[in-house]
Amino acid sequence: MSTTNILEARNIVKFFHDPVTMPVLKSINFSIQKGDFVSVTGKSGCGKSTLLYILSTMDTDYEGDLIIDGESMKNRKEVELARVRNEKIGFVFQFHYLLNEFSVLKNVMLPGLKMGKYSDKEVEHRAMEKLKILGIADEALKKPNQLSGGQKQRVAIARAMINDPIIIMGDEPTGNLDKKNSLIVFDVFKELAHNYQQSLLIVTHDPDFAKSTDRIIEMEDGRII
């Protein structure tokens, strides 16, 4: 196992100010190495989702430092953070958030086109590859609203993978799915972690899901226990 930290949280503290100021996260320290398959668990309201959004650079209102791929994310401009999200982080939400105006293929391609590293043709080819890995290549030209819930979530995972991010983060990615589809999505994550050495950080309250990951970070009341 490589020892390079791809993501490191140093002393992260966060307060909610509305309606009264109260701490949500209290001095969070941990790191993730390449290829780790990590789950974050804990009761509702323990701050696990809040932590995830800070780690994803979308929430910038915190104290402490966040290091992604050796670079500090503190005091960066909005444009720079957007670029980091685009190139280094893939995100899968509880809800799929696909754009119904675009085809499945185009939805997967969008972050790749935004990165602008490859030509349109290459991005399309890469998007098809990802869809093949996830077993939904046949649905590429359909609109998202013609797909089942499990299929949509797999498209969202393909979209998260398109720019070969150093880490994929998930916020309850199976939360909206039935048992069968949850298993499919879980198998996809496991396959990515083991066959493609993809680092994964998944927030979940499903103990079965958490148990089968490589490492569990358990949180309670804003702390890691």
List residues binding another protein (CB under 8 A).
Answer: 49, 53, 56, 58-59, 78-79, 82-83, 85-87, 91, 93-95, 97-102, 110-111, 113-116, 119-120, 123, 159, 163, 171
Rounded to a whole number of angstroms, the minimum distance from the CB of residue 78 to another protein is: 6
Please tell me the distance from the alpha carbon of residue 185 to that of residue 207, in angstroms, as a whole number: 15
Does residue 43 sit in helix, strand or coil? coil
Rounded to a whole number of angstroms, the minimum distance from the CB of residue 123 to another protein is: 8
Rounded to a whole number of angstroms, the minimum distance from the CB of residue 217 to another protein is: 19
Q: Which is nearer to another protein, 113 or 214 (CB)?
A: 113
Residues with Cβ within 8 Å of residue 9, at least 6 apart in sequence: 28, 29, 30, 31, 51, 54, 55, 64, 65, 66
**Are the C-beta atoms of residues 56 and 169 closer than 8 Å to each other?**
yes
Q: Which is nearer to another protein, 59 or 129 (CB)?
A: 59
Tokens representing 36 are 């780790």
Q: Which is nearer to another protein, 84 or 212 (CB)?
A: 84
Rounded to a whole number of angstroms, the minimum distance from the CB of residue 128 to another protein is: 17
**Are the C-beta atoms of residues 22 and 198 closer than 8 Å to each other?**
no
